[in-house]
């Protein structure tokens, strides 16, 4: 199973989702069964570390984002991943425009796994530190829901 989190620049929301989700998988003993990555629609920040505010907020909750580096969504991602999860509607629209015909991966908003199918993870980039806390609150909730989904799929395949 492979999961890809997608936002605009891959320095705030999607690396936060990647770090939180990895930790949730480890806690459930599923990290060896699920590959996780993140990327951005835009190429502005390729190769850069996550925003220091995102790194700090995540670290305060025990999540390490320090080794992550931004990259851009590419054509191969649509075939390589089982889940392509956007942080907001604009990211999802951009993904749909780039997606090849006949793609079998699940493509949707990440917060659908938090029971919030139409809600977006707000971009905290231009705001204050409280925005990064809100992102973490939402991402933690959705990560737990996604872990449950993956765990139930594993059980169904047994």
| Per-residue pLDDT tens over the stretch 88-117 | 999 999 999 999 998 999 999 999 999 999
Write out the residue range of the structural domain in which residue 94 sits: 2-156
The structural domain count of the chain equals 1
* 109-121 per-position pLDDT tens digit: 999 999 999 999 9
- Whether residue 88 lies in the annotated active site: no
Q: pTM to 2 decimals?
A: 0.96
Q: Which one from 37, 77, 88, 123 is the annotated catalytic residue?
A: 123
- Whether residue 22 lies in the annotated active site: no
Q: How far apart are the first and last CA of the chain?
A: 15
At 138, which CATH number? 3.40.50.2300
Calculate the average pLDDT of the chain.
96
Burial class (CB in 10 A: 0-12, 13-18, 19+), 48: middle
3-state secondary structure of 108: strand
- Whether residue 7 lies in the annotated active site: yes
Is residue 112 within a helix (H) or strand (E), and if so which, with residue range? none
> Hey, what are 68's tokens?
């992550």
- Provide the pLDDT for residue 153: 83
């Amino acid at each position: 199973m492979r999961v890809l989190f997608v936002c605009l620049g891959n320095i705030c929301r999607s690396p936060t989702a990647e770090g939180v989700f990895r930790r949730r998988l480890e806690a459930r003993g599923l990290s060896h069964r699920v590959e996780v990555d993140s990327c951005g629609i835009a190429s502005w920040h390729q190769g850069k570390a996550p925003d220091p505010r995102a790194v700090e907020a995540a670290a305060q909750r025990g999540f390490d984002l320090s080794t992550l580096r931004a990259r851009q969504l590419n054509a191969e991602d649509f075939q390589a991943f089982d889940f392509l999860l956007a942080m907001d509607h604009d990211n999802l629209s951009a993904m749909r425009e780039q997606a090849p015909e006949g793609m079998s991966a699940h493509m949707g908003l990440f917060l659908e796994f938090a029971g919030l199918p139409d809600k977006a993870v707000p971009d905290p980039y231009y705001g204050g530190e409280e925005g990064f806390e809100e992102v973490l609150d939402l991402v933690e909730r959705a990560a737990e829901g996604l872990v449950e989904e993956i765990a139930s799929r594993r059980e169904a395949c047994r």
